[in-house]
A and B are shown apart, each in its own frame.
Chain A
């Protein structure tokens, strides 16, 4: 089978609706049929919990690094090479392990939140007998 001519395709303004092999694949995979039904309130609580953890990390990052440019500028020369060496050490070396530590802390917290959420879900399902 030959392809359709190209110029006609430039003006597509809506998604193709017809079925068949030529139809566009669902660009966004279909919500999985087997997804456990969760009450919107619990989901909301989960989202808030995760958001708090995320913002804590970003806030910590901002609090730790944000003042540095100002600090480096306002601290007078600590005599000789003092100031540059401190700046080089902080920005060149110290921050990188710090990032990894923050990252690991975040992952632990986030996974903990999810585990609790899953456990609660399992208990709720088992309790209401829908699991069978």
Chain B
């Protein structure tokens, strides 16, 4: 990748975001502006902002990487990311907006009249936010590393600083403009190179369909392994080895690899003949990194695992989207419930349009960059393809454009998450939601995931994001759905469900991230917890609430009315004015009404 172009591209994204943010800052005056842009963002702008915020490094880089490494099954990832908004629209969008609360903890407290539930929700919001921030920083490290050649942590650090500064300075209003801009930038950054890539692919006589698996090397290919990997060879493979394979050192010797899993040590160079079927990394996410050779599951068992994993992915993404802290907070910026619904439909269109593109990169990657399978750096495929397939100045320019889009991806999601986490921190942990504390909170919100990133390197970006979805689906989804639709939910039930579901999913996540579960089903179950943890959370909430009949909040009727009653049409003046005044009120200026 041409470094000069890349640096210019990334810098201009940061500068443009800063400028647009500063523009917003000049009109961001009150606390209400700061948190929710005074609830006046029209559907189209808000939808672009929501989409811009949502399309993270996991979408921009991760999906193509997953499609490259694991094939067609991974198309469920973008499908789930989009369908999550449909579920959100159908069950949550308008009532959530009408609840009039700023954050998920606000909602919990308003609905259940309990500070305990509020506390638990706050903690979970912060945890989910941090879980989601780590892979964003990882994407930043990867992109800036490829663009500038700097080590990963510098990229992550730079992005963390930029995000903390922009959130602390501008708050929600400026974020809205920045993120709407970033949606269009991301779409362009994938669309334009994709057109050129398709043309180049069309004109390539030797290209064959890449939908088959596994992909094959097109030319005689040399791959240097920078990081010890275990690779699975599907059929007998003749390679020339310079380095260590299966614990034995070789020097430019020809080796016949038998089908099965082989260990290739750091620094080894492999030379593959033309049309060799590419050896993939041995299921780097589901097989133990330091297990024995005998751990490979039988084909039938393997099939069961991957089917379970697919359903785990579907449940987590379909139900988890509604609880993502940065997604939820954006709905409060709509003027009313109707606008919140309409906004969501536009989001479905915008996000869906974007997701047509990343799989294309994954497929082309199977033809043109199969060596990434071996080095394991599959998240880089989007960034590498333009240079590989088009080359020359055009390739460099398109590469720079893609880098700019990737930069927008992690910047926007990281800002949104930081915003949401900082909002909760400043309201529930720090003493007063004045802007000074908000700024401190936004620093804390970024610093923690940055520390985690440097301590726990290297799970694939989209995979890590999946874990955040799973926790959200097993805690916030039941809270929101039952809270909005079931009058019988009590504070005790909600707390129990949040602790059981969220706790179980978090435990599974921790076990997965530290790789402390063995093999087979225990490992699969903890890597995809949503299938069991979501029903567990729902069941706990319902059963405990039923047992706690007297615990129903006092004002359930009033709150239910408020969540579901349509805002009166504007011409019914007394009621309309009353509502508009109270909800638009600057929260620091007014004293609570009796």
Contacts and interface: CB of A to CB of B under 8 A. Distances in A.
B89 A106 contact: yes
A51 interface: yes
A96 B582 contact: no
B433 A24 contact: yes
A27 B352 contact: no
A123 interface: no
B13 interface: no
Nearest to B485: A51
A118 B569 contact: yes
B127 interface: no
Contacts of B475: none
Contacts of A15: 115
A23 B311 CA distance: 47
Interface string B552-594: 0000011011101110110010111111011101011011110
Contacts of A50: 564
Contact of B560 (A43, A57, A96): A43
Given A81-B211, A96-B355, 4 more contacts: A65-B314, A69-B311, A100-B349, A103-B345
A93 B109 contact: no
Closest 7 CB pairs of A and B: A34-B578, A25-B587, A96-B352, A91-B75, A114-B566, A28-B110, A9-B431
In this complex, the interface size class of chain B, counting residues with CB under 8 Å from chain A, is 35 or more
A92 B91 contact: no
A31 to B, nearest CB: 6
Given A24-B432, A27-B102, A43-B565, A36 B575 contact: yes
A48 to B, nearest CB: 9
A33 B486 CA distance: 25
Contact of B564 (A28, A46, A73): A46
A105 to B, nearest CB: 10
A25 B433 contact: yes
Contact of A118 (B353, B566, B578, B579): B566
B196 interface: no
Interface stretch (B49-57, B79-87, B376-384, B492-500): B79-87
B574 A34 contact: yes
B341 interface: yes
A78 interface: no
A124 interface: no
Nearest to B105: A27
A84 B432 CA distance: 56
Contact of A22 (B100, B353, B432): B432
Contacts of B106: 27-28
B352 to A, nearest CB: 3
B565 A35 contact: yes
Nearest to A12: B431
B532 interface: no
Interface string B453-480: 0000000000000000000000000000
A107 B355 CA distance: 23
Interface in A90-132: 91-93, 95-97, 99-100, 102-104, 106-107, 110-111, 114-115, 117-118, 122
Contacts of A58: 86-87, 90-91
23 contacts: A9-B431, A24-B433, A27-B109, A28-B100, A28-B106, A29-B585, A32-B575, A32-B581, A32-B583, A33-B578, A35-B575, A38-B561, A43-B561, A46-B565, A58-B91, A61-B83, A61-B86, A65-B79, A69-B311, A81-B209, A96-B82, A107-B345, A111-B341
Contacts of B115: 14-15
A40 interface: yes
Given A65-B79, A97-B352, A19 B591 contact: yes
Contacts of B430: 9
B359 A92 contact: yes
Contacts of B252: none
Interface string B64-84: 000000001001100100110
Contacts of B85: 99, 103
A33 to B, nearest CB: 5
A33 B582 contact: yes
B200 interface: no
B325 to A, nearest CB: 16
A116 to B, nearest CB: 10
